[in-house]
Amino acid sequence: MEKTTQMYEGKAKKVFATDNPDYCIVSYKDDATAFNGLKKGTILGKGAINNRVTNHLMRLLEKNGVPTHLVEELNDRETLVKKVSIVPLEVIVRNIAAGSLSKRLGLPEGVKMGSTVLEYCYKNDDLGDPMVNEYHILAMGWATKEELDLIASYSFKVNQVLSDYLKEANIELIDFKLEFGKTKDGQIVLADEISPDTCRFWDSTTHEKLDKDRFRRDLGGVEDAYQEIMRRLLGENV
Ligand code: UDP
């Protein structure tokens, strides 16, 4: 399939149309932003790492019964995906308190909660991705009840599969963000990415942060953390 026109450029990825209207090509960038675009920078090698880590984890999820948009990795930075209409939600899954939840509820980072927490945010940069609940989602027509139930059950499944898999690599899955899309035949599939940009990964032993918090909080060693995730999951460097 041939790349044609650029459809969209986001903060971390570009999306291109192809000569087949059912498929797109995603191209991962090294650009990094945080705090709704207020902080900007570059993380060298990030695009290639996020592309490969995302595809690796999506293949694992597919094997475990979670449908995804992934079709084929084309090269270092580019992947062929099914064209979907994105459900305008960020689905956040949390195992351990961190980030905005710690702030909101006054829980120190690292506190294990009694059970997994699911949150929804409305994907809208101008509004700063406000948190919403199931009633808002149904009332606004962003998803149907059936679609939302499926999104929630896939999200818990993703958490279980990834938490178990990452544990083997001595990585603790603290929290992460998912996005779902709808294919032209109405199937709900996991879309977007699963990477150190969208997950909190802590070393299980040292609790060292191996994710975008190193960039957000100016902790240094940003590139090394992304490389380390790549190495632990795919056993190689880029
Ligand atoms: N997250 C994301 N994109 C967003 C907001 C959050 O990928 O726009 C991820 C983030 O990396 C973390 C989880 O979702 O793994 C929970 O983020 P949180 O709500 O704590 O927000 P943050 O502290 O990152 O602002």
- Best residue among 38, 39, 90, 92 to mutate for probing ligand 1's pocket (most ligand atoms within 8 Å of CB) is 92
Angle between helices 222-234 and 46-63 (to 10 degrees): 30
175 touches ligand 1 (CB under 6 Å): yes
Cβ(120) to ligand 1 under 6 A? no
Contact 42, 215 (CB under 8 A): no
Q: How far, in Å, is the centroid of ligand 1 from the Cα of 185?
A: 30
The Å distance, Cα 6 to ligand 1 centre, comes to 27
Q: What is the pLDDT of residues 183-235, one digit of tens each?
A: 999 999 999 999 999 999 999 999 999 999 999 999 999 999 999 999 999 99
Q: What is the pLDDT of residues 10-40, one digit of tens each?
A: 999 999 999 999 999 999 999 999 998 999 9
Q: How many CB atoms lie within 10 A of CB 75?
A: 9
Q: Is 1 a residue whose pLDDT tops 90? A: no
Residue 27 has, within 13 A of its CA and on its CB side, a CA count of: 12
Q: Could you read off the pLDDT of 176-194 as tens digits, one per residue?
A: 999 999 999 999 999 999 9
What pLDDT band is residue 237 in, cutting at 50, 70 and 90? low
The dihedral formed by the CA atoms of 154, 195, 121 and 95, expressed in degrees to the nearest 10? 70
Q: Is 12 in the pocket of ligand 1 (CB under 6 A)?
A: no
176 lines ligand 1 (CB under 6 A): yes
